[in-house]
């Protein structure tokens, strides 16, 4: 990209002071979060010196669009994770209720076995 920096007709982008900070500022101005703008500025700085102004702006637009898609995907993922945690919680509660039901059925089954053995005349089974 060509950047006159106020010092001349045209010179390649990045030959002025602090090109990385400028890239980061450009990204943040377009809505890229600080946490993403910093590493992206590092990567863009590697090849930004070879870009024309229009290529640089196209790279910024593409990077910004990619970040928007990633952030939207991250939001959707967080929403799905919340849903999964809620379902897990409900399933754990359901499993606890099934354990209680199973214990109740064991007690009823044992009672019925004793009742049947008493009805058959088996003196070994006592019903209390």
HEC assignment per residue over 16-76: CCCHHHHHHHHHHHCCCCHHHHHHHHHHHHHHHCCCCHHHHHHHHHHHHHHHHHHHHHHHH
Share of the chain above pLDDT 70, in %: 80
pTM value > 0.85? no
126 belongs to a structural domain = no
Higher pLDDT, 101 or 117: 101
Q: Would you say 44 and 13 are in contact if contact means Cβ atoms under 8 Å apart?
A: no
75 belongs to a structural domain = yes
- Tell me the C-alpha distance between 101 and 77, whole Å: 36
124 belongs to a structural domain = no
Q: What is the pLDDT of residues 8-22, one digit of tens each?
A: 334 445 545 568 888
14 belongs to a structural domain = no
Residue 3 banded pLDDT, cuts 50, 70, 90: very low
3-state DSSP assignment of residue 88: helix
| Residue 127: predicted pLDDT | 54
Higher pLDDT, 1 or 22: 22
Domain that holds residue 98: 19-119
- In the chain, the number of structural domains is 1
- Average pLDDT for residues 45-64, to the nearest whole number? 87
- Tell me the C-alpha distance between 48 and 79, whole Å: 36
103 belongs to a structural domain = yes
């Amino acid at each position: 990209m060509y950047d006159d920096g106020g010092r001349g007709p045209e010179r390649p982008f990045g030959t002025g002071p602090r090109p990385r900070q400028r890239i980061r500022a450009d990204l943040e101005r377009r809505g890229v979060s600080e946490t993403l703008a910093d590493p992206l500025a590092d990567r863009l700085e590697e090849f930004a010196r070879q870009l024309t102004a229009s290529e640089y702006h196209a790279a910024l637009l593409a990077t910004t669009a990619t970040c928007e898609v990633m952030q939207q995907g991250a939001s959707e993922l967080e929403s799905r994770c919340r849903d999964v945690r809620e379902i897990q919680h409900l399933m754990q509660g359901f499993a606890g209720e099934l354990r209680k039901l199973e214990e109740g059925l064991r007690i009823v089954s044992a009672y019925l076995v004793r009742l049947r053995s008493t009805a058959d005349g088996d003196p070994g089974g006592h019903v209390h």
